Every structure is written in C-alpha cells, then in structure tokens.
Amino acid sequence: MNYKSLQHIYNDFNTAVSNTSGLNELYMFDESEINKINNYNYPVCIIEPPNSKVSDINRAYEEYELVCFILKPESRTHSDYHSLSLYDDCMSLFHQMMNKILATRDGEYILNEDSLQVERLTKFGADLTKGVKVTLTLLAPSSLGFSVASSPVALPYESNLKAFYNAASGVLVNSNSIAWTPTKPLGSSLNMTHLRSDNIVAFDGTDFVFESPVTFSSSEALQIPSISFSSASFTVFAKVFISQEAVNDSMTLFSFSKDAQLDFFRARVKTGGGGEGNLELLVDDDTSATTESFSSVDLRPYGNPSELKVIALVNDHANQKTILYTETGSHELSNFRDDVISNSQFIFGATKLNENFIFQGFAGKLKSLAIYDEAVSPSNVTLIMNKLKTL
C-alpha cells in the first residue's frame, strides 16, 4: 500500500482530471487565492489544501476534509436554461473524476458517503463562471499512522502470500464503509472493503460479525474487488466461527467470481436437509461445471462466538484435488478448479449473482484471512494454522 502525502493526493487528482473528458486542468490552492491566476483553462477543478485528522492511529487511515470546485465559463448571451445546465455539467464532471480517484489501486481512497455537501456557485472569482463547490471527507493511508504502528504479525510461511488480514489491525469501519488493510505482504494494495454500502458487516472491535443472512436480496459481505493468481492453484485460510443458527439457505463461506453465471469457485456450508453442515464446492470454469461436498465434515457449528477456529481450503491443480483442513483433520475431493483465477472478485460471506441479487449469506464471525498464490503444502498448512490459532 502507498501512504499518502499532499503531493500524492495532488498527483492522483491531477491524473484523474487528465483522464476525465471535459476537465482541462487541476489547481490546488486556497479559495481566497482564486484571482491569482488570470487565464484559467476552463473547465477546471480547484482543490483547497485539505486539513486532516487521524481518529484511530492504529488503523492508519487519515481523514482529509476536501473542498473541491468544478467551474465552467458562462456567456452573458446564453439563456437561463443553458446557465442552469452548467451546474449539472459540473456535477457530472465531478462524478466522473471521483470515480477515477476511488478506483486508484483498488481502494486506497475511501469516500465517506455521508460527508458530501454541494453548493452551487455563480461568478466565482473575477471570471464569469458557474460551478459547484463540493465538500467531502476522503480517507487515505497515513504515513503518520503507520509510522507508529507496531510490527505486523508474521506468518511462519509467507512465500506466494497474496494477502493476510488480521482484525487486530488495519480495520476502518463507519456507517457505510469498511476498509481492511492487509497486514502482509508489506505494500499490498489488496484492500478488503464492504460489498454494499447499505449493508455493512458489523465489527465488534475484535471480529467481523455476520448476522441474519437473507435468502434473496442483499446479504452483508466483504470483498476484494479484483484478485489474480499466477496458476490454477491457490489456498485460502480463515479463522472463523460458523453459526448453527436457523437460516433459509446454504451459507457462503467465500467465493471467487469473474462471471457469476459462468466463471466462479464457491465454498458454502449446507444447511438443512441432507448433508447438514457439509462444505460444498461449486466450480464453473473453462473445463466443466461441478458441485461436490465434503460429506464427512460437519461445520455447523464450527467453533463458538468466543473461540474461533481455523479452516483452510487448498485448490491443488497439479494433483487434481481440493483439500479441506479443519482443526481436527483433513479431507479431500476430486472436484477442483482447472482454470486460472484472473481479475476476479473475491467475496467473503455471500454469493453475488448480480448487483441486486446477493444471497446465501454467512452467519458467524471472521477474525483473520490469508490467501496464497499456490497450493500450500500440508506441512506449511499446519504451521500457518497453528499460528492463526494463537491470534
């Protein structure tokens, strides 16, 4: 992850403005200095140097209070209707620019959606212009926070580690957003975020708490927007509590999905009927579409609310099998993913078919998660699981 200074923020906004059709230039100075430039290359974006605060230094995110102006020139010969349309044009430019900012390195910037305030301006400065003044809070990784943070937890095996998340650090949660920064590897940009801002997973300060999953609609979940592996093999570790509460459908532990209908790997716990508590794999790739269960395993419940347990799932492409590890043993299936996961969405806690259909939600807790770009060997699985047990 890249920590942000004002110069970094300026550079990132400058890149976003350059890539926004209809915006010509970015300036960063105080509103009182608007008249220091005589010939603006309209339409322009002006950002005031922001003030900031760090609410929780252990979470290492800085909250920047940004004031952003989008301005377009106005002609005295145009109608009132045209003049009004300039406000809408400026809001559209702001929206396009912010989409590019928020896409920077998969979630380094987080917008506090409750913070947005819009003021419409006429004749701003000496020029005849119309535009909008948008006030917002933008969260970004802080060098101040990380500089005093304790040394991150080390895993006993870290080769080909894509991301390790530990709820004891790097978690930032508010009413409509989640950012969970990987503890390892250092510099990773694979932030985990909320799946939907209107359905945030609860965080009790120690664990993420998934509650009341819904059958159809929008189950709460966490996501990595995009992840890729170098081969078809991968491993996922999670320290979890899997609840035995009554639910109406299977509970998704996690899924990789590029196309929810044609390209996915899902691990879900069966509830009710035959195979209660079995872990079921649903795999659809270029080779085949298969469904198979670890029928000798009962994961309902697994652990309890005060004592979470570690689970690991290894997609071993070379040996054409999937291995499930629990704290009591290991189990194998001939079902495995044969195709490389590339630019896929990783979701923990739900299955997503489309933006409006997120279902088979998870009930339980999550404390830590580790994803490896390889089929981790049995001996190293044991080492990693033993370490995660202590966290």
CATH code, domain carrying 35: 3.30.980.50
Tell me, yes or no, whether 136 and 162 share the same domain: no
Q: Is 1 among the domain residues?
A: no
Say which residues have a Cβ less than 8 Å from residue 359's Cβ, sequence separation at least 6. 214, 215, 216, 217, 219, 249, 350, 351, 353
Q: Is residue 36 in a domain? A: yes
Q: Cis peptide before 185, with omega less than 30 degrees from 0?
A: yes
Same domain for 87 and 174? no
| Sequence-separated (6 or more) residues with CB below 8 Å from residue 306 | none
Domain-embedded: residue 65? yes
CA distances (Å), origin 357, targets 3, 192, 249: 35, 20, 14
CA distance 342 to 256: 10
238, 373: one domain: yes
Number of domains present in the structure of the chain? 2
Q: Which domain holds residue 163?
A: 150-390
Q: How many CB atoms lie within 10 A of CB 275?
A: 17
Instruction: Kindly state whether residue 95 falls inside one of the protein's structural domains.
Output: yes
Same domain, 180 and 137: no
Are 60 and 22 contained in the same domain? yes
pLDDT tens across the length of the chain (391 residues): 456 788 888 988 998 999 999 999 999 999 888 888 888 999 999 999 999 988 765 556 788 999 999 999 987 776 667 788 999 999 999 999 998 888 764 457 888 878 999 999 987 778 889 999 999 999 887 766 544 444 568 899 999 999 999 998 888 888 788 999 999 997 788 999 998 888 899 998 899 999 877 655 667 899 999 999 999 999 999 999 999 988 878 899 999 988 756 788 999 999 877 789 999 999 988 777 889 999 999 999 999 999 999 999 999 999 999 999 999 999 999 999 999 999 999 999 988 876 667 788 899 999 999 999 999 999 999 999 999 999 9
Last residue of a domain, one of 107, 128, 143: 143
Which one of 98, 128, 143 terminates a domain?
143
Pick the last residue of a domain from 122, 143, 164.
143
161 shares a domain with 138: no
Same domain, 158 and 244: yes
Q: Same domain for 199 and 128?
A: no
pTM over 0.75: no
Asked if residues 259 and 277 have their Cβ atoms less than 8 Å apart, the reply is no
Q: Are residue 135 and residue 209 in the same domain, yes or no? A: no
Q: Both 108 and 200 in a single domain?
A: no
